[in-house]
Amino acid sequence: MFVFVCAGCGAELTNPLSQVALPVHARQKYGNGAQLPVLMQPGTFAVDPDPWGGPWRMWDEIDPGEAAARGIYAPVHALSDSAPGASVIAPGDSRGTRLIPEKSSGACCGLDGADGPNMTCEACDLPVATRVDDCSLWQAVRLSPDAVHRVPVAGIHAPPLSWAELAEQGEVTPPFEPIPTWGGQLGTDHYWSWSPRWEAAAGQALAHLLVASQGQPVKVPGGLTADVFQRALDVLLPAGPPERRAVLAGPGQPSPDAGVDILLVPVHPQTGQAWSPAGPAASAYPVPLPLGVWLWLVSPRPHLPVPASGRLPQDVLRDDPLPIRPNHLFRADRGTFQHTLVRLPAVRSPWLRAILDNLTQGTTADLFF
C-alpha cells in the first residue's frame, strides 16, 4: 500500500492505495456525449508508462529513431511530450487538493485535461494532478509524476491472487450494458450497447491477432469469440489456406494441443502479466485479454429460459421479452487498436502498415467504433 504526497511540501494527496495493472480502456474515447464511469477501482492506482496530454508534437517533427526509442514503430498523428509514468487513481481517492477553475476551459460536459494539470495541492498550491471527467472519457485523476512522490504505508501487504483464485473469484465483464448519455429531453438518457470495455479489449487483442497471424487467415472459436473477432479477421487477412488456429487458454481450461498457433489468454489484473502455458503450446503466440472479458468468453452466462426461482405454472403463458442486444455487429475500439499496433515492432511489415494506412484513411471504418 502507498500514499502519494506532494513533492513540494510533503502533504498527503491520496488515500492508501494498492497498485494494479492499467486497464486496457484507460485511453479510450467512447462515442459522443456518453457518461462513462470511473476508470479505477477505489483503493487502487495504476502507472501509465506512456506520456499523456500536451504539449504535443506532430509526427513529421519527430525523428524515426526517437519514435522507435519510445516504442512507436509506425506513424501517428501526434505524440505527447509530457512526462511518462503518471499514476492514475479514482477521483474519490484524492485528498488535500483543489481544482484550478481557469484550467477547465474547452471541455463539453466536464474536465478533459487539455489545459494541463487542473488540480493543485491545497497546502502549497503546486499543480499536482489532472482530473478527467468529460463526456465520452473514463473518469480519473492522473497524478503528475514530477509533482508527487509515492510513500509506502506500514501494514500487511497481501500477495497477488493466484491464477486459480482469479479463475474462481474473478469478476466477469458482461459484453452488453446500458450507456448513459447527456443531453436527453428529460436530462440523462441511455441506450443498450456492446460494452466499451469489450470494444477496447478487442482493439488491443485484434492488433496482437494480426501480428500472430503472420499474414495468414486466422480461425477463432465459435460463439461470442467469433462475434467479436472473426468478421474483422476475415476482412483484414487474406482468404484460403494455410490457416492459423486460435483457442481460449488459461487457468482451469484444458491444456492446448501442439497444433494451436495462437492463445487467447487472460491478463492478471494486479500484476499485468499474461497467463502463460507449459508444454507443447508454450511456443504459441499469447494474445492478451482482460480477465473479466476472458472469464465471460470461457464461461458465458446464458439467458435463463425459466425464472430462477422455479418453473412457471402450467396455465401461465410466458411473455417476458428476450434479452436486449445491440442493434449492430460488434466493432473493436479504433483508438485502442491503433495505440497497440503502432507499438508492436511487427507493424514495420508492409502488409501490416497497409492495414494501418487503410485504418487512418477510413476504408475499414465499419470494423471499428
What is the per-residue pLDDT across 122-172, written as a single tens digit (0 to 9) for each?
999 999 999 999 999 999 999 999 999 999 998 777 889 999 999 999 999
Share of the chain above pLDDT 70, in %: 91
pLDDT value at residue 180: 85
CA distance 259 to 364: 31
pLDDT value at residue 305: 47
Q: How many CA atoms lie within 13 A of 338 on its CB side?
A: 24
Band the pLDDT of 306: cuts 50, 70, 90.
very low
Share of the chain above pLDDT 90, in %: 70
In terms of Cα–Cα distance, which of 54, 20, 25 is closest to 38?
Answer: 25
For helices 196-213 and 224-236, angle between their N-to-C axes, nearest 10 degrees: 50
> pLDDT tens across 263-290, in order?
999 999 999 999 999 888 889 999 999 9
CA distance 274 to 130: 30
Answer yes or no: is pLDDT of 108 > 80. no
Answer yes or no: is pLDDT of 211 > 60. yes
Least confident range of 196-210, 247-261, 302-316, 348-362: 302-316
pLDDT value at residue 33: 84
Q: Is-contact 134 112, C-beta < 8 A?
A: yes
Q: How many CA atoms lie within 13 A of 344 on its CB side?
A: 22
Band the pLDDT of 241: cuts 50, 70, 90.
confident
Q: Summarize the confidence of residues 192-207 as an average pLDDT.
A: 96
